[in-house]
Amino acid sequence: MAIYHLSAQIISRKAGRSATAAAAYRACEKIVDERTGEIHDYARKRGMESADIVMPSGSTWQPDRAELWNAVEAKNKRADAQVAREFCFALPDELDAGQRRQLAVDFAQELADRYCIAADVAIHAPDRSGDERNHHAHVLTTTNRIDGAGLGNKARELDLVAHNMGGGVGKANEIDRIRKRWATMVNDRLRQYGHAERIDHRSHADRGIEAEPGQHLGPTATAIERRGQRSQRGQEIEGQQAERAALRAEQTRAGAEVARVERDLAQARADRAEIERRRIEAERIAELDRQAIAEAAEYERQAAARAEADRQAREQIKAEQERRIAALPAIRKNRAGAAYIMADMALEALQGGRVGDWQEIEKAAVIRAIRESGQNRAEIVSDVIEVSPGFADPVRRQQAETKLAAVTRPEPTRAATPTRSPPRMPDKDGGIEYG
């Protein structure tokens, strides 16, 4: 089945490597390094299915393999120069040889056009003693741009150091984009040729898969393992896998402990929130109690004030009554006629506590007194006003005088009705007789 694999590495002179040697090995050719005079001859090496030089579209320079990589070695003069970059990727076994070659060349052409670089595509067949599905390709690219019939400046977009120095630390770089693009191209070809298999450039962790990623032994360790011997690399890988298994178990335990602590913290936060809610509720109830107490105190204060006002009013009324009662005997003694009668009735009403009867007493007493005595009207009015302070108001006094004038006005004398004599009857003599 189709698998995803794409790796990138730098061919650096600092590591004792050269672009000519790398190209000769991957293309299974013989190349003479014109800078050092070394001969890199891998013509008898087997396993290479195809090798193609890919230049940017529109480039007028179409060098062969030896010319291209010798130009690269000549352009880069530093002892630590990065002379080439290699992309190694797995080709889907579901495609046939022609389809796999076209896919690899198309991918190299995209790299050449996007970054204006040259690419050397070599497709290798699976090793006879290994997995027969291990079709893969090596794409060796220049680190310099193609400039006319030669090489120009470096293609810095693919340089990780330049990427980080430009503020891209922790961000996706061009190699990440290339990895994603390769997965897209493979899936498009599988779909085009009717295959259901798909690949994914993301890691197991990014995809939520807990499977252990595969590790490559490398050609030397693989050869040792095939001979039935244990290689140092194989033992290292096994040790790393055991360490990772133990680490995963520890991470699982730690994760469970973290989950428990988080649950405890969540419960503690919930308890704290409940305590705070209850505290706020208690403060609210206490505030309501304080308000109720204050309102009750205010009500009691107002009630006491009203009671005191009522008491003072009653005392004033009582004092006024007492004053009036005390004044009545003197009025009774010094006045005559109607004043005596009114004073007696007023005194009786006041002493009996019938304060509400005062107005009727005033009216009835005055009318009765005036009608039953011949006292002067002005004296009666003076007596009534002195006994009844209600008549002290000028308006009421005027009304009282008007009413008194009406009730004391003497009744008109009736005129004598003439008596009609009975008609006289004629006497026997014919005269008239009066009865």
**pLDDT surpassing 50 at residue 18:** yes
Mean pLDDT of 216-245: 74
As a whole number, mean pLDDT of residues 371-393 equals: 52
pLDDT digits (tens, 9 = 90+) for 41-82: 999 988 899 999 999 999 999 999 999 999 999 999 999 999
Q: Comparing 315 with 384, which gets the higher pLDDT?
A: 315
All domains of the chain, ordered by start, with CATH? 6-211 (3.30.930.30), 335-408 (no CATH)
H/E stretch holding 48 reads strand 48-54
Query: Which letter, b or e, does each residue of 179-191 get, where b requires 16 or more Cβ atoms within 10 Å of its Cβ?
Result: bebbbeebbebbe
pLDDT at 411 (0 to 100): 47
Q: Mean pLDDT of all residues in the chain?
A: 78
Q: How is residue 399 written in tokens?
A: 């009304």
CB 11 within 8 A of CB 140: yes
Q: DSSP for 219-286?
A: HHHHHHHHTT---HHHHHHHHHHHHHHHHHHHHHHHHHHHHHHHHHHHHHHHHHHHHHHHHHHHHHHH
Average pLDDT over residues 106-133: 89
Model confidence at 434, pLDDT cuts 50, 70, 90, reads very low
Question: Could you tell me the pTM of the whole model?
Answer: 0.52
77 three-state secondary structure: coil
Say what the pLDDT of residue 290 is.
Answer: 92
Q: Is 65 exposed, middle or buried (0-12, 13-18, 19+ CB in 10 A)?
A: buried
For residues 175 and 366, give the distance between their C-alpha atoms in angstroms, rounded to a whole number. 126
Residue 356: pLDDT band with limits 50, 70, 90: very low
Residue 168 region by backbone torsions, left for phi larger than 0, else alpha for psi between -120 and 50, else beta:
alpha
Confidence check: pLDDT of 105 > 90: yes
- pLDDT-based confidence at residue 170 (cuts at 50, 70, 90): low
Backbone φ and ψ of 52, nearest 5°: -135, 140
